Homo-oligomer: A and B are copies of this chain.
């Protein structure tokens, strides 16, 4: 732990270096930045099993999951590299001059440019895909921003290995020194200083509500406020409609038992809230779901901080009047591990207990039982902003409940029909975002190539000769990029 003064001075140096690197990096052609991203992917792959083993030891995540997540990380870097080459990410719009118009229209050409140095806080639950070289870093580097990553203390060694890969790729492809920097000092104060530094232009965060909101508050209280994209908690409501419950309860129970327990429930898209109307179908579903969940053995969570918080929050939720524990209460579980928990509560008790609306990070799901279709909708309307909402229904259900799509789109950034919210596809159309408190800005996504938009701002060039225009906007279109001309 550094002294306050030397921490201050270290962060100051890091951010000033990042500011200088940005001034060079933003001028590097997009095609060159694409090479850099691909080189990062190669260097990560070159770390081989050593990287996977380090991450497994630090996070307790199984090798199969880590292998998949590494593939996803490499895939993200590759997708951003492809996008940089196509050029449409820059929203190039050209209005040519109309001298006869009154008043005459000048030639105006618009493109997106990078914001500046971006500070990124990696997540605990995605040591690769949403940490050091994850989606935030890949999108910010693609945008032309220099990046400072604050390593997540729970997987510091993994983070150092990946940071070294990024640095090697930067050297190999001739990027400015300090285009990427890795801050290993794990204190809360470090994060605060990084967000408050004058050179910092934007912040990316994936984690808890309290962590994200604190960073957002620091950014908002700067003399010049800066954008913070924090992806925070979500309970991901799932609406189980009557006909589906009656006719498909066994399949639904199987599907949701798997989703609730996937990765020991350590996903921000974990289905933490099931909403249904009382009835025979629901009873059969609950019985089946509880049976499946009880077959799942306790498993280690990412770290003891998380397993302790899980145990504490579950206990607190279950102590609320009206909340019933459905899965069998375990006698004792091993330190650092977690068991799936299914609880139930009536809609009216749910309405009156704000605690039940909060995320419990882990393999926990609360079933809210409504006495009518109207009350079921009221439960959906009562929840805060969410990353996802899932709708489980038959054609018959949707004929009766078609309006639920409207309601769901008011609440969440992604709506899943007859599927599970876990498993976030990295693609162009993906939205991993949603109204506050799911994120601090619902206008952006954290997953998929559109996430680059968080780190870009438009600039218009008016009446410019080709000699002074960026290549993307020259009349001759030398880069052959996609442009809209009007």
A residues with CB within 8 A of B: 23, 26-27, 93-95, 103, 105-106, 108-110, 113, 115, 216-217, 220, 224-227, 384-385, 395, 398, 402, 405-406, 409-410, 412-419, 423, 425, 427-431, 433, 435-437, 440-445, 450, 453, 456-465, 467-468, 470, 484, 486
17 more A-B residue pairs beyond the given contacts A95-B425, A398-B468, A433-B457, with a C-beta to C-beta distance below 8 A: A23-B410, A94-B429, A95-B430, A109-B429, A110-B429, A110-B430, A224-B384, A224-B437, A225-B436, A225-B440, A227-B443, A398-B467, A402-B468, A415-B462, A415-B464, A417-B464, A428-B486
Measured in the bound complex, the distance between the Cα atoms of B467 and A395 in whole Å is 9
Nearest 7 A/B pairs, CB to CB:
A431-B460, A110-B429, A442-B457, A220-B220, A108-B429, A414-B460, A93-B429
The reply to whether B457 and A417 contact each other, CB–CB distance below 8 Å, is no
Interface centre among A115, A385, A435 (most CB of B within 10 A): A435
Assess the A486–B427 pair: CB atoms within 8 A. yes
Q: A115-B442, A216-B225, A409-B113 are in contact. Are A460 and B108 (CB under 8 A)?
A: no
A414 pairs with B227, CB closer than 8 A: no
Contact assessment for B413 and A457 in the assembled complex, using a CB-CB cutoff below 8 Å = yes
Q: Smallest CB-CB separation from A454: which chain B residue? A: B443
Q: A398 to B468: give the CA distance in the assembly, Å.
A: 8
Contacts of A412 in B (CB 8 A): 459
Given the complex of chains A and B, what is the CA–CA distance between A108 and B430 in angstroms? 7
B225 adjacent to A425 (CB under 8 Å)? no
Cα of A316 to Cα of B450 in the assembled complex, Å: 48
Q: What is the CA–CA distance of A43 and B59 in the complex, to the nearest angstrom?
A: 64
Docked CA distance A186–B423 (Å):
50
Taking CB as reference atom, which chain B residue is nearest A465? Answer: B417
The answer to whether B458 touches A27, judged by C-beta atoms less than 8 angstroms apart, is no
Stoichiometry (number of copies): 2
Q: How long is the Cα–Cα vector from A390 to B414 in the complex, in angstroms? A: 43
Chain B: CB-nearest residue to A398: B468
Residues of chain B within 8 A of A428, CB atoms compared: 93, 95, 110, 484, 486
Q: A429-B95, A468-B417 given as contacts; is B441 within 8 A of A227 (CB)?
A: yes
A433→B113 CA distance, assembly (Å): 13
CB pair A418 B463 closer than 8 Å: yes
| Cβ contacts under 8 Å, A224 to chain B | 384-385, 435-437
Residues of B within 8 A of A431 (CB): 110, 458-460
Please give the distance in Å from A202's CB to the nearest CB on chain B: 9
- In the assembled complex, the Cα of A427 lies from the Cα of B460 at a distance in Å of 11
Among B103, B425, B453, B462, point to the contact of A414 (Cβ < 8 A).
B462
The answer, among B429, B463, B465, for a CB contact under 8 Å with A419, is B463
Question: A406 and B27: CB pair below 8 A?
Answer: yes
User: Of all chain B residues, which has the CB nearest A439?
Assistant: B457
Q: Which B residues lie within 8 Å of A450 (CB)? A: 93, 110, 458
Picked from B113, B216, B410, B419, the residue with its CB within 8 Å of the CB of A462 is B419
The complex places the Cα of A395 from the Cα of B444 at a distance, in Å, of 41
C-alpha spacing A423/B103, complex, angstroms: 9
Q: Please give me the residue from chain B that is nearest to A459 by CB atom.
A: B409
Given A110-B430, A417-B468, verify A105-B460 contact (CB < 8 Å). no
Q: How far is the CA of A111 from the CA of B429 in the complex (A)?
A: 8
Closest to A68 in B: B103
